[in-house]
Each structure stands twice: as structure tokens, then as C-alpha cells.
Copies of this chain bind each other. A is one copy, B any other.
């Protein structure tokens, strides 16, 4: 592991779509945000819709008639890749807090090991959004000879204090839940109360206040739905957050969340060489596309501009696209009409 320690024979879960050409001439490696699985799109083996269903497929921007797309479940997650919720073969017990410190460099290595397993020596493009954008950057810095192109969406060279504060508070909400029990919770009786609070704070930073003005305003929930708690639940926006927290609950292991959240804080391109400039200088990309959203408060536009400017100093072709989407950081998941044409144009241009 990047910060010490090791995992014995870890598993990396991945899914692929399309047909590989050569040693990877048409291969796209996709890193995810903090919570998704490798199931980015439906497939014959798993027809359920994926988290980027409208982006990956025949005739879609990541066109599986032309490209071979690989999506990685991040190391440390709980959807197939080895994480703190898994059994440590050395002890026969779950890793829990004995899991070593996780970094996005380790997540990137997980992707690299999948390429080795698939006998892929080069990539057409490395892609990532949010935490996945930082993992993609970590990958391109550590393996500069593998990928000729990078597509970064709503990501950054490193987390700034507001995002660190948000995630630190989310982690504290879970840790302060007595059920967390220093990581030793019963998986059937996990710190759900803390996780629900953390998810609500997450939603508040994934969306934008402008979206909510339009969507909810001061709309009230109906009297029937009204909670008996006098301090909670008059307003539609409160019911919306409650519904989202309910959906998330039980889906994601608390310790895995803590490790991945921490990894997002720790990543810093400047640690690769001693400065951001030195980090950028390690890249051997030929082309990059950076997409940022004006209403993103978690990875704000100024961070997208910093990333694009740093890339421009070392990468021959860099395009920076500023999207005026209303849905904040989450726009890459939900504002498909804005993202599809930009990403489609990028991948169309190649003679694959």
C-alpha cells in the first residue's frame, strides 16, 4: 500500500463493455466516485441499469461499438474489491480498522492490476469524475506511459479545506454513533443513524442551493406525512433528504466509507514530486479534457480551472469545458444532456 502495510491477495472487481482491440488501442479505464460499484452500465450478464447507464453503450458517448470500457470498483469499497468489510486471510476475521491506510494511489494501482490481468499494455483514455477523477490523475502520474488521454470531471488536484471539513464531519457523525463501536459493529446492526446523517450532509454538498430553490422553494409536506418530531419535517427539502438517506442506508459499509472518504482528503498531486508543478510534469498525456460545473461547491470551478491550467503547461492538447448545470457536483450523474455532447465530441474524433 502507498502509505505502508499490505493486503494479501486482494480482489479488484471490474466490469467491461465492448471488444478489446490490440493491446488496448480502444480501451477506456473508468474510475468511480466514492460510492458506486463497477456496474456503470447494464450488460447481458447484469441487465440492471448502471450508474452511468446513459453514457456507456452502443451509440452513446462511451460507444461500446468502438471502445472497450473497463470500470473498476475502488479498492477499499464494498462491491467486490477488497475492503475493510472483507475477511483478512491472515486472521480469518474482517479487516475492520486493521485495514491499512487507503489512498487514491492504491485505488489507481487496483486499476493497473486489472489492466495487467487483462493483458492490456496501453489505454486510449483514463476517465474519472469526482473522487474517480483524482484516482484517474493518480493513475496517470504513476503510470505515465500507459494512457495517452485523460478525461476529468468535477475533480481536482487535491481536496481543499471546505471539502475536507465536509468529509471530516461526515466521518465524525459515523464515529460518534455508539453503534460504530470503534469499527467493530455487527454488520446486521451497523451505525445507521450516523450514516444517515452523513448521507444527508453529502446530498447538501452534491447538489446546489439554486437547484433546491427551484425544486422545493418553501413547499411543505402534506399533513399526513408529518413527523411527530416538532423540530423536523415541515418542509419538502427535509423529506427529500430523508428519502435519500433511507435509500443509501444498508447499501454501503460504514468502515469502507470511512476509509474511502479519508483517501479523498489525503490525495494531493503535489506529493508526487514536491509541488503541483512537479506532479503535472510527470504526466505524459497527449490530450486532456477537463469538465467543471459552475454550481459545484464540493469541487468548485476554481479547482477545475487550476487543474486545466496545470495540464496546459505540460499536455499538448487540453480542453476545459465549464458547464452551467444547476445540479452541482452531482451533475455528471444527472445532467446527461449537458455532459453527453461534450464527452461524445471528445471520443468521436478518434479513428477507432
Which chain A residues have a beta carbon within 8 Å of chain B's beta carbons? 97, 101, 158-166, 168-169, 171-173, 175-176, 178, 193, 197, 200-201, 204, 209, 212-213, 215-218, 229-238, 241, 258-259, 261-262, 265-266, 268, 297, 300
Q: Does B160 lie within 8 Å of A238, measured CB to CB?
A: no
Helix, strand, loop or mixed for chain A's interface?
helix
> In angstroms, how far is the closest chain B Cβ from the Cβ of A134?
13
Q: Does A213 lie within 8 Å of B161, measured CB to CB?
A: yes
Q: Does A238 lie within 8 Å of B204, measured CB to CB?
A: no
**Bound complex: CA A176 to CA B169 (Å):** 15
**Bound complex: CA A169 to CA B104 (Å):** 30
**Bound complex: CA A237 to CA B235 (Å):** 32
Q: Does A161 lie within 8 Å of B258, measured CB to CB?
A: no
The residue that A165 contacts in the complex, of B101, B161, B204, B261, with Cβ under 8 A, is B204
**Bound complex: CA A165 to CA B162 (Å):** 18
**Bound complex: CA A171 to CA B197 (Å):** 11
Q: Does A197 lie within 8 Å of B213, measured CB to CB?
A: no
Q: Taking each of A165, A209, A218, which has the highest tally of chain B beta carbons within 10 Å of its own beta carbon? A: A165
Q: Which residues of chain B have C-beta atoms less than 8 A from A238's C-beta?
A: 164-165, 168
Q: Which residues of chain B have C-beta atoms less than 8 A from A216's C-beta?
A: 161
Q: Does B169 lie within 8 Å of A237, measured CB to CB?
A: no
Q: Which residues of chain B have C-beta atoms less than 8 A from A193's C-beta?
A: 176
> In angstroms, how far is the closest chain B Cβ from the Cβ of A352?
39
Q: Does A160 lie within 8 Å of B213, measured CB to CB?
A: yes
Q: Which residues of chain B have C-beta atoms less than 8 A from A171's C-beta?
A: 231-232
**Bound complex: CA A259 to CA B171 (Å):** 27
Closest to A162 in B: B209
Q: Which residues of chain B have C-beta atoms less than 8 A from A97's C-beta?
A: 230
